[in-house]
Amino acid sequence: MRVHAYLVRSERFLKVEDRVLERLSRASREELLELLGKGYVKLELMSGEWRSLFEQVGVYDPVINGRLRMARMVVAPDRLAKLVNVLWRHEINDLWLPIAHGLTNLTYALPLASGLIGVVFLEESEDWLQAEPTYEMIAIKPSVFGLLAPHFERLVSDGDFTGLSRLASDHAESSVEFSAARWLNFKETCAVKAPELLNLVENHVATPEQYPVVVNGIRRMLDPHQQPSLDAWLRVHFGTKPQGLLFRDIRLERHAARSALPTLVMASVQ
């Protein structure tokens, strides 16, 4: 799930601020957008970007509800300084560099002076949930994986495999897609020829440190005629630097997309 940041001029923001705050955790996305009107600038944050940002600015009480696919936060014009300071801190900029795109745009879009702009963060529409899901092995650069690993762990723990696959796909370096038949063949062959690989597949996420286990397991079980896409991926990536991997089983997602996940109001990170 991605998030959109709506930059609203203070004159308009102050007229609707109380109603937006009152309805933030219970109104639909469309209702909140209607309150904002049309005079805003919209910027998109990828799945890992908004999660990283929200962790750093808990002082604004961001609201996250995985069951409702909700991620929201309001920054009033007179409270903008904290957000701007976080975005301009060099150590945070350096840390976020591997995943930063929308965050960079947001940083340069916000005025350094408070009082001019208010910002409302809202989850994207649910159109992305209508896309046909695909069995996948998704590879992620180590620098990106290190930033996102806590979020991967949290989503696996919550059973939110739809959110997990969206997060990984947003920040993927490469991927291999499987048909249903080839995915089942992949797992069945792993069980016979590379059980240690099957363990990682069933754990959903493999760290860069576990990458050699994955590659060696694939080499032992691989039949190029049965798995041509996996064979092509291995030819390109064998001998390259280790990467983090996510194994996407879409059978889990269909039941988890609306699972009973809690609403979280995140605390500030000092």
- Per-residue model confidence as pLDDT tens digits over 169-207: 999 999 999 999 999 999 999 999 999 999 999 999 999
Question: What is the pLDDT, as a whole number, of residue 220?
Answer: 95
Q: Which amino acid is at 255?
A: H
Q: What integer is the mean pLDDT of 102-124?
A: 91
User: What is the pLDDT of the chain when averaged over all its residues?
Assistant: 91
- Per-residue model confidence as pLDDT tens digits over 137-154: 999 999 999 999 999 999
pLDDT band per the 50, 70, 90 thresholds, residue 111: confident
Tokens representing residue 218 in the block: 């694939």
Question: What is the pLDDT, as a whole number, of residue 24?
Answer: 95
Domain boundaries, the chain: 3-127, 131-256
Q: Which amino acid is at 16?
A: V
Q: What integer is the mean pLDDT of 61-71?
A: 91
With a threshold of 0.85, does the pTM exceed it?
yes
